Amino acid sequence: MTTIAPEKIEVGKSLLGESVPRKEDRRLTQGQGVFVDDIKRHGMGYLHFVRSPYAHAHIASIDVSKAEEIKGVYGTLTGEEVAALTDPFFQIASEPGGKIKDFSLAVGKVRFVGEPVVAVVAETRELARDASELVEVEYEPLDALVDARVALGSEAPVLHDDAGGNLMWEGVYEWGDLDQAFADADQVIKIDELHFHRFNSTPLECDGALVEYNRGTGQWTIHTNNQFPGFAAIMMGPAMRCGLDKLRFVTQDIGGGFGNKITSHPQLVTCCLLSRKLNRPIQWTEWRTDFHMSMSHGNERWFRDTEVAVKDDGTLLGFRTKALDDAGAWLRYEPLGGVIWAQVTPGMYRWRHIRVEFTQVATNKAPVSPNRGYSRMQHLWFTERVIDIVARELGLDPVEVRKRNYIRAEDMPYETPNGCIYDSGDYARMLDIALDLIGWDSMGEKRRDAESRGKRLGVGIGSTLDSGTNNFGQSRMINPELQFSGNNEVATVKLDIFGEIVVTLGTTPQGQGHETTASQVVAEILNCSVDDVHVRAGHDSYWNSHAGFSGTYASQFAVTGLSAVKGATEMLREEIKKLASVIFGGVPVEALELAEGGVRIKDNPEAFLPFMACGAIINANNAGLPEDLGVTLNCRYVYRPPFQVPDIERKFGNLTLTYAAQIHVAVVEVDPETGYYDIVDYAAVDDCGKRINPQIVEGQVMGATAQAIGAVMHETFEYDEDGNLLTPNFYDYHVPHALDMPPLHTGAIESPSPFTPLGTKGMGEGGGAGIHAVCAAIQDATGKIVTDSHNPYHRVWELMR
């Protein structure tokens, strides 16, 4: 492993930029984390779902009587009961998708294999599973729709009669002057069809919950690994006909999320209803096979009839394409994927004339939901494929085409054709670093060496953006009726009675090290040690440190979470000084400074008030303090990024605050006889602005890279023509193992964001670059155009035939 880091500029000693060891690790390396399945309650019942064996069928009848007769079975819940007790989930989509009726269990019809139909609760996990076998469901099977490309044909079976067909959402995005661009072009490159496949990040811990109902207060306490409780709450409350204060969300440790744990609200509603119905805590832990069959597949997308306007020298003028998105059976977060891609409309390139006709349809497959790189990854894979196909058709070097067209460092901040503001970056420099890391200069020699061994060597580049901190106003492009915009996150920082510095976050970390990086920011501002800062693990909506968009998703903690921490800590610092000013007999606050775990007079360090004294005075010894002191030492700050509501008519505006970038280069060796290939060298260069903890950032880069390698080589959710998932667990869905990993070189530059309080950018989702890079490398090695994001060995072999 090689690492190239930016040169450090020493400006005093700062904790921001230090690879402080993670505070989370001590409990996690001893098996002392608390994950959702670790939580137990007296008398709890284990929930098991009876799931549909059909991709598409009417439910003729359900009989739970045999299951309920078994000793130790506490009860059941059916779709019919759900339809009586709840309202359909709120739909993000405008019509026609907005008309579908989605409940927490199937009502009247099933629409994908694995869809929950009945919930059974019993004394043990095993008994709940056994009893589920005794639930009798009569189905009347219907034809299944598994290919989105025929979803709008007159022959296609219709999933949702309420929507009048399989069209869920469509919209046309057009910016610039397409006619002029194509008139000015020396050549028009046409690409019939590109396909981005269906997979997800398969967090090692599946979804789960332990739900308790308090009959006296009418409140549910939901211990869960849902990673976006703010979203779950606004989905669940209206459906359950209760105020959001009745839904208390609690998490501690979450075993990976990657976006896949955003849309568990239907299962959580089922748990809530059963905990009330059966008057006991409900424990639900999803089985791996259930997760694969039913949760959060990444968006499968086709790009059809693409035309690219280019000059002979490789200058890109614009493109038009028709994007077709397969949403699966339900819109659980969709059709937001229909606009999220627009955060990165031009990719990293300066073309100004772009038209995308976006269509999203329903199919009899698991519902799609956010997956690391959500919707931008699909679009950026498309733009990178276009670059490499254009380079090939024009006989140009893909490196040169990129450098000719990359948005330049001097163009920053850069306004894209659709009004997004790329904050900072130097893509060409990143590419140079990445090429150096894989020994670009000696590539000719390496090609000859591979040929001498009967192999074909290929090099591929993946340039990608990791847009972060959403402006939720973009949802109005999907549905103008929606009343969302902006973003927010909350933190509280207080001095407790013995001077303990206690921090709460609104976020729900799943391995991103928030306790550590938040501590670094607090310690920096209070001028104390990281060890003196106690960040509460996890999330609890009782802490009051949350807002509507709280959670951990979409590359934003380094901006939203840490800016909230910074704001709250600065408030606390000023309050400490204000208190000390009084205690020191009216010394002006400007004469005070924080140091060594207390506050002191700059010119007279002997006059020192430790945090312990500050905490004790305010909390327990406050007689005689001035009435108008206004100090609580318990500070709550809401960070709100500077956003405007986008122009919905023009589909124009800044959709995210920061644009981190990654450039990956993959070197592959293909065996022309078999299609087998190895990634023999690999470089990933990251720029996420100011890095608070470089080791954590590099860890994110590595992990995302591994997921990309898995996706491009092995991982796919593939269905047969009847709608059966062929890869329903890790037996058939191969994720990379230790032996699968190629040599890796990492590098980084830092282009601080001018728009964020710490110069940081959200990051963690740039790994899609690996898919782009490996596809490009296969194209380079085989000389054949790669049209699919999934390239197992047999597909490479077919490519070369």
Partner 1 sequence: MNVAVTVNGTLYERDVEARKLLIHFLRDDLDLTGSHIGCDTGNCGACSVILDGTLVKSCMVLAVQANGSEIETVEGLADGEQLTALQRAFTDHHALQCGYCTPGMLMSATSLLRSNPSPSDEDIRKALQGNICRCTGYWNIFEAVKSVAR
Write out the residues near partner 1 by the rule CB under 8 A: 1, 19, 21-22, 24-35, 37-38, 40, 125-126, 201-206, 253-258, 285, 287-289, 510-513, 695-696, 698-700, 702-703, 705-707, 729-731, 735-739, 741, 744
Joined tokens for residue 257: 């999320």
Contacts 24+ apart (CB under 8 A), 304-307: 304/192, 304/193, 304/194, 305/190, 305/192, 306/190, 306/191, 306/192, 306/194, 306/382, 306/386, 307/182, 307/188, 307/189, 307/190, 307/191
Output 191 or 701, the one with its CB closest to partner 1. Answer: 701
Joined tokens for residue 199: 């997979």
Q: Are 328 and 365 in contact (CB under 8 A)?
A: yes
Under 8 Å CB-to-CB from 597, ≥6 apart: which residues?
A: 499, 528, 529, 532, 610, 611
- Cα-Cα end-to-end distance for the chain: 36
Amino acid at 269: V
Cα torsion 242, 244, 246, 252 to 10°: value is: 140
Output 253 or 489, the one with its CB closest to partner 1. Answer: 253
Output 465 or 711, the one with its CB closest to partner 1. Answer: 711
What CA–CA distance (Å, rounded) separates 365 from 290?
13
Q: Smallest distance from the beta carbon of 703 to partner 1, in angstroms?
A: 5
Joined tokens for residue 463: 């340039």
The residue count of the chain comes to 801
Q: Smallest distance from the beta carbon of 491 to partner 1, in angstroms?
A: 21
Under 8 Å CB-to-CB from 557, ≥6 apart: which residues?
A: 507, 509, 512, 514, 517, 762
Q: Smallest distance from the beta carbon of 672 to partner 1, in angstroms?
A: 27
Q: Smallest distance from the beta carbon of 98 to partner 1, in angstroms?
A: 34
Instruction: Please list the alpha-helical segments (H only) found in 416-499.
Output: 427-437, 443-452, 475-478
Output 422 or 682, the one with its CB closest to partner 1. Answer: 682
Output 292 or 456, the one with its CB closest to partner 1. Answer: 292
Pairing of strands 501-505, 489-495: antiparallel
Q: Smallest distance from the beta carbon of 648 to partner 1, in angstroms?
A: 38
3-state secondary structure (DSSP) of residue 163: helix
Q: Smallest distance from the beta carbon of 552 to partner 1, in angstroms?
A: 11
Q: Smallest distance from the beta carbon of 247 to partner 1, in angstroms?
A: 24
What CA–CA distance (Å, rounded) separates 81 from 457?
60
Q: Smallest distance from the beta carbon of 323 to partner 1, in angstroms?
A: 28
Q: Smallest distance from the beta carbon of 514 to partner 1, in angstroms?
A: 11
Q: Smallest distance from the beta carbon of 578 to partner 1, in angstroms?
A: 38
Q: How far is CA 29 from the centre of its chain?
A: 25
Output 17 or 203, the one with its CB closest to partner 1. Answer: 203
Output 607 or 735, the one with its CB closest to partner 1. Answer: 735
Q: Smallest distance from the beta carbon of 20 to partner 1, in angstroms?
A: 11
Nearest Cα residue to 506 out of 221, 228, 208: 228
What CA–CA distance (Å, rounded) separates 569 from 493?
6
Output 20 or 240, the one with its CB closest to partner 1. Answer: 20
> 453-481: buried (b, 16+ CB within 10 Å) or exposed (e) per residue?
eebbbbbbbbbbbbbbbbbbbbbbbbbee
For the residues of 348-377, what is the DSSP string, one character each? Answer: TB---EEEEEEEEE--SSPPB---TTTTHH
Q: Smallest distance from the beta carbon of 22 to partner 1, in angstroms?
A: 6
Peptide bond into 728 cis (omega under 30): no
Output 223 or 566, the one with its CB closest to partner 1. Answer: 223
Output 125 or 534, the one with its CB closest to partner 1. Answer: 125
Burial class from Cβ neighbours inside 10 Å (0-12, 13-18, 19+) for residue 665 reads: buried
Q: Smallest distance from the beta carbon of 739 to partner 1, in angstroms?
A: 5
CA Rg, the chain, in Å?
Answer: 27
Pairing of strands 745-748, 2-4: parallel
Within 13 Å of residue 218, how many CA atoms lie on the same side as its CB?
A: 8
Query: Count of H helices and E strands in the chain?
Result: 20, 30
Q: Smallest distance from the beta carbon of 755 to partner 1, in angstroms?
A: 27
What CA–CA distance (Å, rounded) separates 505 from 730?
34
Q: Smallest distance from the beta carbon of 202 to partner 1, in angstroms?
A: 6
Output 524 or 698, the one with its CB closest to partner 1. Answer: 698
User: Helix 611-620 vs helix 562-583: angle between axes, to the nearest 10 degrees?
Assistant: 80
Output 468 or 499, the one with its CB closest to partner 1. Answer: 468
Q: Smallest distance from the beta carbon of 29 to partner 1, in angstroms?
A: 4
Q: Are 633 and 494 in contact (CB under 8 A)?
A: yes
Under 8 Å CB-to-CB from 612, ≥6 apart: which residues?
A: 498, 499
Q: Are 92 and 482 in contact (CB under 8 A)?
A: yes
Output 485 or 695, the one with its CB closest to partner 1. Answer: 695
Output 364 or 552, the one with its CB closest to partner 1. Answer: 552
Q: Smallest distance from the beta carbon of 700 to partner 1, in angstroms?
A: 8
Output 283 or 787, the one with its CB closest to partner 1. Answer: 283
Joined tokens for residue 556: 């934003």
Output 200 or 756, the one with its CB closest to partner 1. Answer: 200
